[in-house]
Amino acid sequence: MYRQILQRVQRGDIPAGTRVRDAALATQLGVSRTPIREALLRLSRDGVLENTVGRGFRVRPLDPGELGEVGTILGALESLALRLSPEPSPERLARLRTLDQQLETTRGDASLCLDLEDEWHRVLLEDCPNRRLLGTIASLRQVPRRYLAAYMRDAGRLSLSTLPHAKIVQALGDAGPEGAAAVLEQQWRKGLAELEAWTARRTGSEARA
């Protein structure tokens, strides 16, 4: 249920600011309210929904401040996880390049693009020995993913660029985890600045409407 509701939010089927009612979702998805409520609570913990006592759940509005805070934390944590990782195996480098090839050929399916993007980051960091750190990263990634999905819908983007990935993989092969972590930090700062600027324009235009 978590995945199905998350996809509805990311596709824009449940827009930002909309109240999410467990009874309605249970009817739509053909299940009882219990798994729906469990999924909603998890989405709330992951920063996708707000859970207000007495008022229920709603999709969090897009907020450049939230994006900046979470993105800065996530970029730092991913870089730390990479620095803690051992030297990459040829197999892991090959898997990263294969995922990039799949991402390059994926057009018109934003959800699949975002899934491949998440999988690429997971493979990049999977050898990190700190499992709690990886769990925190996986949870936090849902926040910028929601913004990226909204940006892709708004801009009519049908794919994601793999150029930042290629730079990180090149650095990983040439300079190891430490060198790749520095490149990862640079790419995070650049991508975050672009997404924050779009979010500020988007929320500003909505406020004026």
CA distance 203 to 57: 21
19-20 vs 49-52, strand pairing mode: unpaired
- The overall average pLDDT reported for the chain is 90
For the domain 64-208, what is the CATH superfamily, name and number?
GntR ligand-binding domain-like (1.20.120.530)
* pLDDT computed for residue 13 by the predictor: 87
Q: 15-19, 62-66, 111-115, 155-159: lowest mean pLDDT where?
A: 155-159
Confidence class of residue 158 from pLDDT cuts 50, 70 and 90?
A: low
Strand pairing class (49-52; 56-59): antiparallel
The architecture in CATH of the region 2-59 reads Orthogonal Bundle (1.10)
CATH 1.10.10.10 placement within the chain? 2-59
pTM over 0.75: yes
Tell me the per-residue pLDDT of 165-199, one tens digit each, with 9 for 90 and over: 999 999 999 999 999 999 999 999 999 999 999 99
Where in the sequence of the chain do the CATH 1.20.120.530 domains occur?
64-208
